[in-house]
Amino acid sequence: MEGLRVPIKKEIATAGNRFKKLILPHLVLSAIGLLFLFPFIWLILSSLKTPQEIFQIPPTFWPQEPRWDNYIRTFEAMPFFRYTLNTIFLCTVNIVGQLIASPLTAYSLSRIEWKGRRFVFGIIIATMILPPQVTMIPVYIIFAQLGWVNTYIPLTIGAFFGSAFNIFLLRQFMMGIPKELSEAARIDGASEIRIYLQIIYPLLKPPLAAIAIFTFVGVWNDFMGPLIYLNDDRLWTITLGLQGFLSQHGAQWELLMAAGVIFTLPSVIIYFIGQKKFIEAGASLTSFK
């Protein structure tokens, strides 16, 4: 009997360790995830309620009779499709600009030897310290003197000069790529442009995908830039459209909730689609080392 008790104790101890190491962390993370997800769930459910249900005390979690027509009324109350197309246009242009400029700059800072490149890289990194509010007024004055206010140029031209964070991310990635690949191509007579386009750029898919997602979410959620530079409501993005909708229909909370769901949904979808890309980009930073 004593001999049987020892294996049973070991099994109990093993099961306890398994619970602590595997099951308990997942339970904690699931609880935290639900906690952060709750406001979005409440937003969706409130968009299907009547105004009386929204302010009912005690509050009700599920709508008694889902009002799907709240979404139809929201689309009728604002030119949502026009605002969405404007925002998608800005997202597309900014993504294209970042995917062209940032890799080129990172390539020159990581794969080409030239005097002062460390100093230039330090200046680029230093710009990340400055908040955008510091340069907001002088940049606006420059764009106003160029006649670019009330156009999309101020909201897109910066992407074609790259981003400090994106340049940093891509430079660190490129520094992990073996230089023997480039040297072998040079021996075969390949030019620097050919090495970049045919060898280096195809290896950048994970970080480029992450940059595209970051850029999309950033432009989609941008409010301050369109507010400063866009005066014509025909050029408004979805964030400005929501602000105008709030000022006109602020008392209609069910429509405001529906508009919030429509605005938030693309970012949530992009997040879940890009989750794998974020992991791949992080893993790729060390895959060549």
Confidence of residue 250 (pLDDT cuts 50, 70, 90): low
The yes-or-no verdict on residue 280 having pLDDT over 70 is no
Delineate the domains of the chain, giving CATH numbers in brackets. 16-66 (no CATH), 78-287 (1.10.3720.10)
CB atoms under 10 Å from CB of 120, counted, come to 14
Calculate the average pLDDT of the chain.
Answer: 83
- The reported pLDDT for the residue numbered 104 is 93
The yes-or-no verdict on residue 12 having pLDDT over 70 is no
- Using DSSP's 3-state secondary structure scheme, residue 60 falls into coil
Dihedrals phi, psi of 232, to nearest 5 degrees: -75, 125
CB atoms under 10 Å from CB of 143, counted, come to 19
**pTM of the model as a whole:** 0.81
* Alpha carbon distance 92, 114 (integer Å): 33
Q: Give the least confident one: 52-56, 133-137, 201-205, 217-221.
A: 52-56
Instruction: Give the tens place of pLDDT for each residue, 162-219.
Output: 999 999 999 988 888 888 888 888 888 888 889 898 889 998 888 898 899 889 989 9
The yes-or-no verdict on residue 129 having pLDDT over 80 is yes
The yes-or-no verdict on residue 285 having pLDDT over 70 is no
- In terms of C-beta density within 10 A (0-12 exposed, 13-18 middle, 19 or more buried), how is residue 183 classed? exposed
Instruction: Give the tens place of pLDDT for each residue, 83-115.
Output: 989 999 999 999 999 999 999 999 999 888 888
Q: What is the DSSP annotation of 143-187?
A: HHHHT-TTSSHHHHGGGGG--HHHHHHHHHHHHTS-HHHHHHHHH
Q: What is the DSSP letter of 127?
A: T
User: Looking up tokens 């004055």, which residue turns up?
Assistant: 141
* Alpha carbon distance 144, 235 (integer Å): 17
